[in-house]
Amino acid sequence: MSSQAKWGTRGLLVAALVFAVAAPAAAHTEPGSPEDEAFRLYEKEVLAQVAASHQRGAKPMAIPDIFGQGSVLNVGNFVMKVTNNGLVGNPFTNLSSDPSGQWPGASAIEYLNFAGFAVGAVNPFATDPAAVRRVSYLNLEWRPATLDPEDRIYRAYDGIVNGIRFVNDDSDNDPLTGDPLIDEDFLDGRDNVGDGKIDEDYAAISQKVMRTDLYEEALQKAGLTS
């Protein structure tokens, strides 16, 4: 698959539904609201996953990486947990003490319950007007594509070997034009361009990078994602 096609696949229209309030100590969804009901269902499914796997804390290759101690962005004055299971933040304080959205720094003052990824779509073939436009989020719909060790959260930083921006890290060229290939790879543990190399030339764009691929389960089952 070409780089352009992969970007198209991964560039789904994604929005963040942020459930937060002004008072730092009360960052939660409103009881009884549709968002709260959806989250409670999501919580039950996560807890069921934990019980089924007998998992006690996250491991370095834990997939999905949401249980126990996980990936935390802690550069700068805002500290937040990152997962590859459809949300950022930490609503599951009974499973982990990771920060959800702390400011300033590691102050233990939380401003965020969680931010969930959502995708909106139009079904032109729907006969029910209520089903023409739908938004999908939570309920474990956004997740890694597989349980392969490669489908995990990757960490990097600006200036890392093979991840320097605007630099031809692996000194390769386009076979047709001869032009240098710059930042043509993805940090994902796979050979994206068919050159036999893995994560050899990507762009790390900040002091701390958390990078993962998320796939919408329904689209994946329908064969609409790679």
pLDDT of residue 53: 59
Query: Measured in Å, how far apart are the chain's first and last C-alpha atoms?
Result: 9
CA–CA separation, 54 and 10 (whole Å): 32
Give the closest residue to 152 by CA, choosing from 187, 195, 115: 187
CA distance 12 to 219: 11
Residue type at 65? D
Q: What is the mean pLDDT of each run of 10 residues along the chain (226 residues)?
A: 42 38 49 75 73 57 75 93 89 87 93 86 89 74 81 93 96 93 94 92 94 72 48
**What distance in Å separates the CA atoms of residue 30 and residue 6, rounded to the nearest whole number?**
38
Q: What is the reported pLDDT for 21?
A: 34
CA distance 183 to 204: 9
User: What pTM was computed for the model?
Assistant: 0.71
* Residue 38 tokens, joined: 């959806």
Q: How far apart are CA 200 and CA 35, in angstroms?
A: 41
Cα(50)–Cα(53) distance, integer angstroms:
5
User: How many Cα atoms occupy the beta-carbon half-sphere of 29 within 13 Å?
Assistant: 17
- Using the 8-state DSSP alphabet, how is residue 102 labeled? B
Q: What is the reported pLDDT for 109?
A: 94
